[in-house]
Structure 1
Amino acid sequence: MGPNTSMVFAGIELDTVQGECRLPQDKLLRCRSLIDTFLVRRKVMPKEIQSLVGTLNFACIVVVPGRAFLRRLIDLTKGIKKPNFYIRLTKEVKADLLVWKQFLDSYNGKTHFMDAIWHSSESLCLFTDAAGSLGYGGIFSSHLFFGEWPADWEVLNIAVLELFPIMLALEVWGHYLSNKQCCCRQRKDLMVL
C-alpha cells in the first residue's frame, strides 16, 4: 500500500492531489441534518442555536463565504438570560439557513488551497470604474468591457454604480482569479479591484 494523498487533520479532510480541503462526509451530513431540523421548527432554545452556530462556524474553515450568513443566528441569542427561553426563528434566519444548505449541497464544503500571495489590481492589471452620467467599464490585461447605464439607473447612488462593474468583472473574469487573494480598494478617480 502506497502513501495516502488524503487525510483528516483537525476535523478537515485535506487532499493534496485535488488541492482542496473539505468537510469529511460525517460532518457534512451533521451540518445538513442540523439545518433541516431548524428549517422545520418555529422556536428553539438558545443552547440549540449556539450549537448550530458552533457547528457552522467550524464549517466556515472550508465554506469561506458562510461566515456572513451566521450573523442573524448569533444575534438571536443576544440578551437572552434564561437558558430555557424559546426563541422564534425569523424568516430571515431561515433564508440564511437555506443559503447555508445551498453552500453545503453545491459547494460541498470544498475549497481549494488559496494562493499565499496577495495580488493588487496593478499586478493583475484589473481595473474598474463607473461614472454616474456616462456608464461603466473594466479592464483585465488585454480584455475589456464597457456599457451605458439604463436610464433608470442614473439616479442610483455612485457607490452602487461603482460596485456594478466590480461584480461584472468577477462574473466575466472570475475563473482567472480563483484561489487568488485580491485586494480591493478605492482611489479618488478609480475603483480598483
Structure 2
Amino acid sequence: MRVLMWARVIHNECIFSESDWWSSPVKCIVGGRSMRTRDLVWDPPPMGRIKFNVAGFVMNEIAACGGVLRDDKGVVSALFSGSCTARALEMAVLMEIKEASKMVIELIRKEHVPLIIECNSSTVSDWLKYSCLRPWSFRNLFANIEGSLRRMAEVRIEVTNQGKNGVAKALAKVGLSRNTLFRAY
C-alpha cells in the first residue's frame, strides 16, 4: 500500500488503478487520456470521519467479500477479505456491511467517530434506508446490521462506482480463494 501511495506522489501525471495494483503492479497504470480521473480515484471522507469501502464478488455461485477502512488522509486502519455464504451479490454486500460495522465497533470502542460505508449496490442501500423494501429472507441479517449501526455515533451508507471501490473489490476477488475470513487491524 505504501508503494502505491509513493508511486502516486512521484508519478502524479499517471492514473493508477488500485484494483489492478494488488494483482499486477506493472499493469496498474491506466492507459488513455479519455478516462476521467475522478471515476478511478478513491474519495476521502470529510475531515474527522472514517470511510469503509466494501465490495462483493460472485463467480460460479461462490461469493466473496472485501472491505477497507480509511481515515480522511487515506490511511488504512483495517481490512477484511474472504469467502462468504451468500447466495447472491446483494446478500454478499449485506454481509460485508455487517462485518464492516462489527470491525469498526471493535476498533473504535470509546470514540464516537462518524462512519461512511460505501458500496456499489444501490439496491442494498435502498434496503437499508427503507425497511419496507427489504426481502423477508434477510430479516435476521438486517436485524444484526441495525443492532451494530445503532451502537455508532453516525452512519451514512453511500453508493459509489466500482472504480472508486478498487481496493475493496480486489480484496473480494482474492477472498474467493480463502476458506476463512481474513481480518487485519
TM normalised by structure 2 equals 0.25
TM normalised by structure 1 equals 0.24
Higher relative contact order (CA 8 A, sep 6+): 2
Larger radius of gyration: 1
